[in-house]
Structure 1
Amino acid sequence: MQGMPIDKTTKMRQKIRVIVADDHDCVRVGVKQMLQSVPHIEFVGEAADTHGLAELLDACACDVVVSDITMPGIHGGSNAVPFLRRLLRGRPHPCVVVLTMICHAHMLTGLLHIGVGGIVDKRETVTALIDAIEAAFSGHVYLSAHARAAIEMADAPPQLRAGMLSAREWEIFQLYVQGLAVHQIAARLQRSGKTISTQKRSAMRKLGLETEADLIDYARQIGLA
């Protein structure tokens, strides 16, 4: 995909190129009009689902994707998170700012752990979205007031980038929610069961998950189960 950020030496003299993805026409129209009124932002395209977003990213260079997470996915359903997760694991990739009405703390925390650069509640002012785009483009993490309040109400607030899962923790997490037992994961990865259990607990702690039910619920929300 061509959605690659420009390097730091050109950030100050080029516009921030933005694609907007949302399955509600009124949201896309409103965000488009708002972005087109900001001199240092260039609106380069819009999509109503992840299929359209993928096509745009292949056709247009962009720096920031502003996306809802409950729009139709490429493989059905109304969950765009699996697509965004794959996008953010690519190199290079655009920044992602999520625009949502979801206020579930584990879900919002999970978005931060997959590398989302900003989360803005749709009830916020347009200024919050502009601030999020600018922050993500500059390599920072932005939470709007509603999103931050929702996360801070959780028992285990996120550690943002510092708390991201390691590659091994993420692999173990995925295998576990796919139904493999700890001893099966240990055999597959040629590690001890104790090591796998420790890394599983570490992953749950970083994600703010306390119980097995929390783990499965979280996995379902981000499209892994």
Structure 2
Amino acid sequence: MYTNAKMDDLRHQAEQLIQDRVAIPEGYEYRSCLLMNHDEIPIFVYRYEKQNGQNTGYGGEHFSVSVDLNVTRIMGFMHVDGQHCGPGLPDEESARKTAVDALKVLAPDVGDAFEIKWVLSLKEKPEKIPHELPFPYTDDEGKEHLATGMRVKLFFTETQSWGWVIVGRGGALMAFEREVTWNTIMNRRSTPAWLHDPFVMEMYNDLKDNMNQR
């Protein structure tokens, strides 16, 4: 059983791991830390939002990152921000190279035990769903924006699981996820998507509806 002091120490270690492997984007500050599950793996889910107070809250701009409870792995991160909107995506080969280089820092334990399955751009008007779906956010005026990037789909051979690196403009990383299980029949992930605001808000609304029906 973890004591409060132990949990505080683990959170401190997790924050240091984030700084070392991902780095919190400039202009963002800490908002919350939740303890959730990535399938069977307990994880810390950190959320950071803009220091200037613009477009905050679920559904707005954010940088979210998950770390396993043992503080050995970055399980994923997502940066939904205006810098990831509009034209200027890298080409497929550049995205592929950026993703391979990023894995050496984000997931050094993986080594060469992965395969690149395909590279696709996220699109404001996607045709291949869910692979080309963009990441939406709403600004303070209620206008929706769509963040896009080049998704490099990965298969991790040792864990027999899926993941991806999403590369944005200028080679900036938009997202990374690892050890995601996929429901082929439903054509969607089965691993909880705690880094994705639409998923979190759907879970919250379902819980609220269930409470109201009691």
Give the TM-score normalised by the residue count of structure 1: 0.25
Give the TM-score normalised by the residue count of structure 2: 0.26
Bigger fraction of residues in helix: 1
- Greater Cα radius of gyration, structure 1 or 2: 1
